[in-house]
Structure 1
Amino acid sequence: MNKSQKSMIALLGVLLVFFGFVIIRIGFAKPASTVKIAKIPAGEYDPAVWGKFYPLEYESYKKNATMALSPTGYGGSMKVQKSEQMPEINTNFKGMPFSVDYTEDRGHVYAMEDIKETKRIGPKSPGACITCKTPYLEKFYQESGWGYTKIPLTQLMDQVPSHGSISCANCHDPETMDLRVINPAFIEAMDRKGVDVSKASRQDMRSYVCGQCHAEYFFEPNTVRVVFPWDKGMKAGDMYAYYAEKPGGFVQDWQHPDSKTAMLKTQHPDFETWSTGTHGKAGVACADCHMPYMRQDGQKYSSHLMTSPLTNLDAACGTCHTQGSAWLMDQVKTTQDYTFEVLHTAGQNVAHAHEAIKKASEVPAVNQIELANARELVRKAQWYWDFVAAENSMGFHNPDQSLNTAAQASEFARQAIESANRAAGINLF
């Protein structure tokens, strides 16, 4: 046996020992832990009870109590007034509660606390306001149907325990843990679009459970039923056209005291903006980015810290985008900076339009036709501006559309000022 043959035999021996060791280790190693489905009683809304069976999810859910500023300067979970960054809010929402109190949203665990503390709520506020604040919505709807919306909000809040903010039961069936939607407004809106939510795929449900609350809505007059205005489409122009037809007799959210215009207030159209953007069209779900998969002790679970992907770029974005966290952060920051610049200008122009219309209305023998046109234009301008301003991603969910919508808001505001000038017969602004 020559030297080469001896070396080969020695190498084979080493490999045999090595792979034998690996096989033994695999054979005797404990398998990765698996999650057993626990049948939690229907009507159990305390997340701590759910957490006994799903500790990893529950521990991450509790982190929603953390409050922090956004790394890019937009959004975040600190309870700061948005008017500090956009002072035009005070003018544009003059005469309604958002000019008094308009703070950044905190984590889901604060939903009930924040609705109790906000200055936007008063003794006459309807029960409809609790729709997206608690899993007890299921109980209220089972007991009263849409009638819960007419019950005084304070009366419903008294029925919600301290653990009753947004939690597990908002999104999961307690018996099967399947994703579910409990907001009847979302179910009805999707049904009108020809989508049966009960038959949706799991991937679609990973967005629907978020979209049931992160969306635009209005309270139908008389019934106070919550309605999502999606019948004509999901973009700002589509919904403005929907509102123009005065659905269910709905005309306005309030009248602006300066311009005397019937105004609309947009409510966080996150689901709509995402659904028409690149990620939404590509089938990337809300949870893919905002609740990325994690691993601990060999167990894979979805993070229930429902927060900005910027807090964990590697897990939230790195699965698809391999350019590195610094590059990703720069992309987001740049998009948001550009969006804010155009949006801030649009908001200021809308504020100027309200002022111009006020001045025009005080001119003797003002042209009422032009004045009415100016009011329609400022109503439209503010709706387009607010559609971007009220959306939580500062443009990132759909950069092209957000920039276009904000730019159109500026143009409508400019046209409103010109129309006010014509109505007065002089240049007022």
Structure 2
Amino acid sequence: MSKPQKSLIALLAVFLLFFGFVVVRIGVAKPAATVKVAKIPAGEVDPAVWGQYYPLQYASYKKTAEELPSPTGYGGSIKVQKSEMQPEITMLFKGMPFSKDYAEDRGHEHAMEDLRESKRIGPASKGACITCKTPYVEQAYKEMGWGYANKPLPEMLDKSKHTVACANCHDPATMNLRVINPAFIEAQAKRGIDVTKASREDMRTFVCAQCHSEYYFEPGTTKVVFPWEKGLKPADMYAYYSDKPSGFVQDWQHPDSKAPMLKAQHPDYELFSTGIHGKSGVSCADCHMPYTRKDGQKYSSHQVTSPLKTLDASCSPCHSQGAPWLQERVKIIQDQTFEIQHMAGQNIARAHEAIKAAAVQPDVDEANLAQARELVRKAQWYWDLLSAENSMGFHNPSQALNTLGQANELAHKAIEAANRAAGIKQF
């Protein structure tokens, strides 16, 4: 054997010994420390009990009690009336409880407190109002089916000891993500989606969507229903309501225009799911509950807040432009959305006034008056889908501006129809 051959064999032997050592080390190395799943007793809804086993998650959840302004000036978790920024709200919701109390939402830990203190609640309020405020809804539905929704609200509040927390989103035995809102489960089933078979990534959106979505109360039963059978876009849901499902005609009649109105309820999922992030497979939790580390342990933050407060953790995994650029981009989108939203809201308020003025004319044209009422109903529905949504357009900027642009145009058409009804010449 030649000297070069001996050298080559010796070198190979060294490599084999080295990589063999690495393989053995990997094989016997202990796995990284993981969180041991604790079997929480079935029916346990007190987050403090869950927190004994998951202290990091619980500590971050407790931060949902913080009341802080939004970094861009829109939203935030301070309980201020939305009419302070949009005075037209008082006119738009005239004749119904949102004209009296339409405060910004606070964090999850305040959900039950805010429900109890809301001026929108009255003697006629029903148990359906607890559906998205407490994990007790799971037990209520098991015991009564949808019967709980028609119970007096005070009766259901007495049984709801805890606010939105761990049990709303996690199976106590396995910690797997789950949804407990029966309205969401039924709505998804009608769309051909079995939530029990959803992927974990889909569930990281579904646990939020089960409450952050549009709904209405079925007449007579007060059952909670999501209007998704025709689709999730504004026109789809409006078409659904136009069919008067289960006899549902309106949330209330505006006292000035006499138009049968609809009230949108935080349609975050609808806007998000048709936006660039939703279409790209990003989940709600990716941004609003970013992964973080403490004491070497990786966990998902349960503060559930604006990604603007956690830009590095929420956005940097996908975006490399840096926090200042990202925040500026969000601010631009929200400023532009609010400008059009505010403009559309003011024009819709004028439409209600124009219809009221036309209706008292002795020779009013009833056909044009009816058209004006339909136009203002649709205009306010489109406007409200963005006003009630929590991202100020960011979840889907193009659709937000398109929807608000249509709301603005419909408001102008409503005014024109009202003027025709009153015999007012237009130039």
TM-score (norm 2): 0.93
What's 1:54 paired with?
A: 54
Q: Cα offset for 1:366?
A: 0.2
The SS at the match of 2:159 is: coil
**Partner AA of 1:46 in structure 2:** D
1:262-291 deviations in Å (ceiling 9; x for gaps) = 000000000000000000000000000000
Change (3 A) 1:80 1:267: same
Deviations 1:343-363 (A, max 9, x none): 100000000000000000011
**Aligned-partner residue type, residue 84 of structure 1:** E
What residue identity is the alignment partner of 1:73?
G
Q: For 1:214-253, list aligned pairs within 5 A.
A: 214-253=212-251
Supply the distance in 2 between the matched residues of 1:168 and 1:216 (Cα, whole angstroms): 23
Aligned position for 2:104 = 104
Letter in 1 for 2:167: A
1:58-73 counterparts in 2 under 5 A?
58-73=58-73
CA distance in 2, matches of 1:124, 1:426: 42
| Alpha-carbon distance, 1:297 to partner | 1.5
Provide the rounded CA distance (Å) in 1 between the counterparts of 2:170 and 2:66: 23
Tell me if the contact between 1:356 and 1:428 (Cα under 8 Å) persists in the aligned partners. Answer: no
**Counterpart for residue 273 of structure 1:** 271
Partner SS, residue 101 of structure 1: coil
In structure 2, the partner of 1:398 is 396
Q: Which amino acid counterpart does residue 405 of structure 1 have in structure 2?
A: T
SS of residue in 2 equivalent to 1:300: strand
Q: Which residue of 2 is the match for residue 18 of structure 1?
A: none
1:113-192 aligned at under 5 Å gives the runs 113-161=113-161, 164-192=162-190
Contact 1:294-1:315 within 8 A present in 2 as well: yes
Contact 1:186–1:228 (CA under 8 A) maintained in structure 2: yes
Letter in 1 for 2:84: E
Amino acid in the other structure paired with 1:150: N
In structure 1, the partner of 2:199 is 201
- Note the C-alpha offset of 1:294: 0.6
**CA deviation string 1:323-356 (max 9, x = no partner):** 0000000010000000000110000000000000
Q: How many Å separate the matches in 2 of 1:134 and 1:276?
A: 28
Question: Partners in 1 of 2:337 and 2:116 — Cα distance?
Answer: 32
Does the Cα contact within 8 Å between 1:289 and 1:316 map onto a contact in 2?
yes
In structure 2, distance between residues paired with 1:119 and 1:218: 19
Q: How big is the shift at 1:113?
A: 0.3
Contact 1:32 1:297 in 2 (8 A): no
**Partner Cα distance (2:71, 2:40) in 1:** 38
User: Hey, what's the Cα distance between the residues in 2 that align with 1:45 and 1:206?
Assistant: 20
Matches within 5 A, 1:291-302: 291-302=289-300
Aligned to 2:84: 84
Secondary structure in structure 2 of the residue aligned to 1:122: coil
| 2:211 paired residue number | 213
| Counterpart for residue 374 of structure 2 | 376
The equivalent position to 1:345 in structure 2, one of 343, 346, 353, is 343
Contact 1:32–1:298 (CA under 8 A) maintained in structure 2: no
Report how far residue 160 of structure 1 moved.
Answer: 1.9
Q: CA deviation at 1:33?
A: 2.7
| SS of residue matched to 1:405 | helix
Aligned to 2:364: 366
Task: Return the alpha-carbon distance in structure 2 between the equivalents of residues 30 and 141 of structure 1.
Answer: 45
Change (3 A) 1:102 1:26: same
Match of 2:280 in 1: 282
Is this contact kept in 2: 1:360–1:428, CA < 8 A? no
Q: 1:410 & 1:231 partners in 2: Cα distance?
A: 26
Q: Give, as a single letter, the amino acid of the residue that structure 1 aligns with 2:242.
A: A
Cα distance in 2, alignment partners of residues 189 and 284 from structure 1: 22
User: Partner of 1:17 in structure 2?
Assistant: none
Task: Report SS of the residue matched to 2:94.
Answer: coil
Contact 1:77 1:106 in 2 (8 A): yes
Percent identity, aligned pairs only, is: 68
Q: Distance between the aligned counterparts of 1:124 and 1:333, measured in 2? A: 41
Question: 1:15 matched to which residue of 2?
Answer: none
The Cα shift of 1:124 comes to 1.1
Aligned residue pairs total 407
Task: Name the SS for the 1:287 alignment partner.
Answer: helix
Q: Which runs of 5+ in 1 are unaligned?
A: 1-21
C-alpha displacement of 1:245: 0.2
Q: CA RMSD in A?
A: 1.9
Shift of residue 144 of structure 1? 0.2
Structure 2 stretches of 5 or more lacking a match? Answer: 1-21
Partner amino acid for 2:107? G
- What SS does structure 2 have at the residue aligned with 1:158? helix
Whichever residue aligns with residue 364 of structure 1, its letter is P
Conserved? CA contact 1:277–1:398, under 8 Å: yes
Structure 2 CA distance for partners of 1:27 and 1:194, relative to 1, 3 Å: closer
Runs of 4 or more off by more than 3 Å in structure 1? Answer: 25-32
- Alpha-carbon separation, structure 1, partners of 2:392 and 2:277: 15
1:409-428 correspondence runs (5 A)? 409-426=407-424
2:370 is matched by which residue type in structure 1?
Answer: A
Q: Could you tell me how far apart the structure 2 residues matched to 1:383 and 1:160 are?
A: 32
Q: Equivalents in 1 of 2:393, 2:101: separation in Å?
A: 23
Distance, in Å, in 2 between the alignment partners of 1:158 and 1:396 is: 38
Inter-CA distance 44–154: structure 2 relative to 1 (3 Å threshold): same
Give the residue type in structure 2 aligned to 1:116.
R
The match for 1:303 is 301
Shift of 1:123: 1.5
Moved more, 419-428 or 213-222: 419-428
